[in-house]
Amino acid sequence: MSTLTLKDGTEIFYKDQGEGPVLMFHHGWPLSSDDWDAQVIFFLKKGYRVITHDRRGHGRSSQNIYNHTIEQYASDAAELVEFLDLKDVVHIGHSTGGGEVIRYVNKYANGRAKKAVLISAIPPVMVKSENNPDGVPMEVFDNIREQTMNNRNQFYYDLTFPFYGYNREGANVKDGVQRNWWRQGLMGGIVAHYDGIKAFSETDLTEDLKAVDIPVLVMHGEDDQIVPIANAALKSIKLLKNGKLITYPGFPHGMPTTEHQTINKDLLEFITE
């Protein structure tokens, strides 16, 4: 196992595979680097060096109960990038990982980032407020907190249905995909997952989006039931200086898994253009 001990003592698990141009993937809540398997093998076979890591408190990293914020996640990613001395990196983030990516490339990249990709991502900000009147009501996130605290084992299985669009008529439901999501979730620490809900729902990344000038690809499913496209990708693309938007009719939040052939093809095109 490869681990990096961060400045605050947290151990971060990471995988560094392959040789060639560097891609770094940032996973969503409450998962791990394993969630990128369909992308990892695709890009390794295309001649890329692929870096994935388990966020603090998630997967095989330390079950640290402190500092579960987008700011800290981005800082952790920066420590890993600098430790591995990565340059000209394309950073790819899914869901919460997209928030981590945009904060990282804005504040911490220091010229090391070449491009960024936000997939089904949380920016600009999810929660409903006076400044974000069409956002997701706080009651939704309070329920996620309640379920995570008191019903995590069952909740993590139930959540896979809207996550992958498996609650839609005619969906090709794959129990193995659901079990793998559940497995990844329960590897992580409950405190990290509980506190992470505030991080992914309330962090306002508007100014980060405005400040980033490297090319950014925004990819979002039009049937995303977890991070609604109207409050996320359709707003983010208007804030980016150098953004490109691809939307996918009928695709769910978990489209990097369920629709990986389409997603990988579009990722490769953006990376190489």
Give buried/exposed letters for 101-133 (b at 16+ CB in 10 A, else e): bbbbbbebbeebbbbbbbbbbbbbbbbbeeebe
Distance CA 58, CA 11 (A): 11
Q: Which pair of structure tokens corresponds to residue 273?
A: 């253009």
CB burial of 247-260 (b: ≥16 within 10 Å; e: otherwise) equals: ebeebbbbbbbbbb
DSSP of 75-111: HHHHHHHHHHT--SEEEEEETHHHHHHHHHHHHT-TT
Q: Choose, from 33, 61, 95, 120, the residue flagged as catalytic.
A: 95
The one catalytic residue in 62, 253, 260, 266 is: 253
Q: Which two tokens stand for residue 208?
A: 């980060």
For the question of residue 253 being annotated catalytic, the response is: yes
- Kindly give, in sequence order, each residue whose CB lies less than 8 Å from that of residue 210, ignoring residues fewer than 6 positions away: 239, 240, 241
Distance from C-alpha of 245 to C-alpha of 233, rounded to nearest angstrom: 8
Cβ neighbours around 149 below 10 Å, total = 13
**In terms of Cα–Cα distance, which of 25, 262, 250, 220 is closest to 122?**
220
| Cβ neighbours of residue 138 closer than 8 Å, sequence gap 6 or more | 127, 128, 201
Please state, in angstroms and rounded to a whole number, the distance separating the CA atoms of residues 23 and 93.
Answer: 11
Is 95 among the residues known to form the active site? yes
Specify the DSSP element, H or E, that contains 270: helix 260-272
Q: Which of 47, 33, 17 is nearest to 94 (CA)?
A: 33
Just list the catalytic residues. 95, 224, 253
